[in-house]
Amino acid sequence: MKVVAFNGSPRGKGNTWHALNLVAMELDMAGISTEIVQVGNKVVRGCLACGKCYKMKNEQCIQTDDQVNDWIQLAKDADGILLGSPTHYAALSGPLKCFLDRLFYVAGANGGLLRHKVGAGIAAVRRSGGIPVINQLNIYFLYAEMLIPGSNYWNVIHGAQPGEVEKDEEGLQIMRVLGKNMAWLMQLKEHGKGTVVEPAPEGKVAMNFIR
């Protein structure tokens, strides 16, 4: 099994990377490989709301001048998805937000590419504002009918300078427990294949309240 981790920090080896790596170490011990993809230092355009992905249904965004389509395929092929973001004004980073809007829109337009995959999000923060980031990340997973593991606290780790999260003893435990629970949930899902019947997807019902 494989997890793809998307790093939303502009720093390649900053505290977000350290946190993702902590989770990845636990996954590795369970025999699950992890690939960390750097998103936060790339130029990523936002969704144009053009709806072309719903018309083409080719698992691609109409915009081809960045790496989003490559990342969409990485997410599709993975068994689990791990999202990490620094905390920018109590919110996730801009490039990661742009990527996730397009990833999840394309996934929904193509029959639910991420449905029932295991997904987890983490936030790195200097002082406060990390909880809204976790909530924002979980919203994407919930929208796509993904499976979300928990930890023994909210998935936030603290540090200012790169590497300082290694001093946050509680944060280190949170990442370890998250990694173990993510691996366990992925293994449960894998062993349940052919034994537990997966619920069939339903077509979305869209209703507007303006009459």
If pLDDT is split at 50, 70 and 90, which confidence band does 152 have?
A: very high
Contact between residue 187 and residue 149 where contact means Cβ atoms under 8 Å apart:
no
Residue in 130, 184, 177, 185 with CA at minimum distance from that of residue 23: 177
Residue 182 CA to its chain's centroid (Å): 12
Interval 153-164 mean pLDDT: 97
Note the pTM of the prediction, 2 decimals.
0.97
SS3 (DSSP) at 37: strand
Interval 127-146 mean pLDDT: 98
Reported as a single tens digit per residue, the pLDDT across 80-97 is 999 999 999 999 999 999
Reported as a single tens digit per residue, the pLDDT across 42-101 is 999 999 999 999 999 999 999 999 999 999 999 999 999 999 999 999 999 999 999 999
Q: What is the 3-state secondary structure (H, E, C) of 93-133?
A: CHHHHHHHHHHHHHHHHCCCCCCCCEEEEEEEECCCCHHHH
Q: Is the pLDDT of residue 175 over 90?
A: yes
pLDDT of residue 149: 98
Contact between residue 120 and residue 182 where contact means Cβ atoms under 8 Å apart:
yes
What domains appear along the chain, each with residue ranges and CATH number? 2-192 (3.40.50.360)
DSSP state for residue 38 in the 8-state scheme: E
User: Using CA atoms, how far apart are residues 206 and 7, in angstroms rounded to an integer?
Assistant: 32
Longest dimension (CA), the chain: 55
pLDDT of residue 211: 79
Q: How large a percentage of the chain has pLDDT more than 70?
A: 100
Q: Is the pLDDT of residue 18 over 90?
A: yes
If pLDDT is split at 50, 70 and 90, which confidence band does 3 have?
A: very high
